[in-house]
Amino acid sequence: MSEPASTPTSNKGPRPQDLDAAAVRHQARRLAAAAQPPWLHDEVAGRMAERLTYIKLQPNRVLDASPALGASGELLRLAYPSAELLWHEADTALAARAAEKRQRNWWQKLRGASSGHVDSLPALPQVDLLWSNMALHACADLPELLDTWQASVAVGGFVMFSCLGPDSFVELRPLYARAGWGRPTPDWWDMHDIGDLVLKAGFADPVMDQQRLRLTWATPESLLADLRALGGNLAPARFAGLRGRKWKAALLAQLETLRDGEGRLALTVELVFGHAFKAAPRLTMAAETHVSIDAMRATLRKGRETG
């Protein structure tokens, strides 16, 4: 079943990428209570970690902005064993799950692993790396979040993130349209729009890319179970009512139309990856500009350090 759709709460006007904020909170609570984190996130975290080898910076402070479901803690610890590893979850249920997991990891304490909770963003003191695995597609206000990320990262530091792209589960759209069931998924931000938002937030040199995975299942029941483990339908335009057994039976029958030439049920998942750096702010000059001596000295000093 899915919860009834509610009106988007954004005061910026409707956008194709809008999410239902109430549904976001509901799914966060449900996933926080699940026995295991989403099955796909561990695979994506590994692919993200491979990209860290492209970046020479060795951060002293690392912030994992999606630890409860992101499956990234040990990967970050292996990549930066001497760094201070911090974490933040905006949702209280997910924050409780992340805190409980860290309490159980007694072996990290024996190894002297440094880890701390950041109550709210922006993070102060700022961090050298802000990492977020498979969380942005469940963010109700992405531009606002990127602004807080920018304020959390020190000059010269960087962000690295991953999320679902708009072509994820695209095969479900005509199926739902034929049945009059509304949207099966939101219109997630594509990588070009995310790159533009990253620039607008104040980061520099964003590098965006995407990968497509073709996933297959033997039965419609196993497909639905895996989709439920990934989350729920956050689209404001989804079917505005409760689902029943009759609807589920109809859905299982419709899913049978997804079988490929090998008899497997197939869906596409689009993964979006990105990273960007925080450059030193530039002084803007009007016809008459007042700049403090301290600000001028700091800018000149930063130029000598990076030059």
pLDDT on residue 280: 87
- Answer yes or no: is 2 within a domain: no
> Is residue 201 a contact partner of residue 147, using CB atoms and an 8 Å limit?
yes
In a domain, 84, yes or no: yes
% of the chain exceeding 90 in pLDDT = 68
Instruction: Answer yes or no: is 4 within a domain.
Output: no
pLDDT at 284: 58
Provide the pLDDT for residue 110. Answer: 44
The contacts of residue 17 (CB under 8 Å, 6+ apart) are 142, 186, 187, 188, 189, 193
Q: Name the domain count of the chain.
A: 1
Q: Is residue 69 part of a domain?
A: yes
Residue 6 is assigned to a structural domain of this protein: no
Rg (the chain; Cα; Å): 21
Mean pLDDT calculated for residue range 263-291 = 83
Two structure tokens written together for 230 = 């990934």
3 within domain boundaries: no
* 170 pLDDT more than 70: yes
Contact 75, 49 (CB under 8 A): yes
Query: What percent of the chain has pLDDT above 70?
Result: 82
Does residue 150 have a pLDDT over 90? yes
Q: Residue 59 and residue 84: Cα distance in Å, rounded?
A: 9
Please check the confidence at residue 305 and state whether its pLDDT lies above 70: no
Number of continuous H segments (helices) and E segments (strands) in the chain: 12, 7
Where does the pLDDT of residue 106 fall: very low under 50, low under 70, confident under 90, or very high at 90 and above?
very low
Structure token digits, residue 22: 């109430």
Domain that holds residue 187: 21-306
Q: Which comes out higher in pLDDT, residue 280 or 162? A: 162
**Residue 5 within a domain:** no
For helices 172-179 and 245-255, give the axis angle rounded to 10 degrees.
130
User: Quick one: average pLDDT of 41-47?
Assistant: 96
> Looking at residue 217, which CATH number applies to its domain?
3.40.50.150
What confidence category does residue 158 fall into, taking pLDDT thresholds of 50, 70 and 90?
A: very high
pLDDT at position 35 = 84
Kind and range of the H or E run holding 271 = strand 265-277
Question: Could you give phi then psi for residue 80, rounded to 5 degrees?
Answer: -135, 75
Give the whole-angstrom CA distance, residue 271 versus residue 265: 20
Q: What is the pLDDT of residues 232-271, one digit of tens each?
A: 888 887 776 667 788 899 999 999 999 999 999 999 999 9
pLDDT (tens digit, 9 = 90+) per residue, 111-140? 444 569 999 999 999 999 999 999 999 999
- Residue 78 inside a domain? The answer is yes
Q: Quote the DSSP letter at residue 113.
A: -
**Residue 9 — very low, low, confident or very high, per pLDDT cuts 50/70/90?**
very low
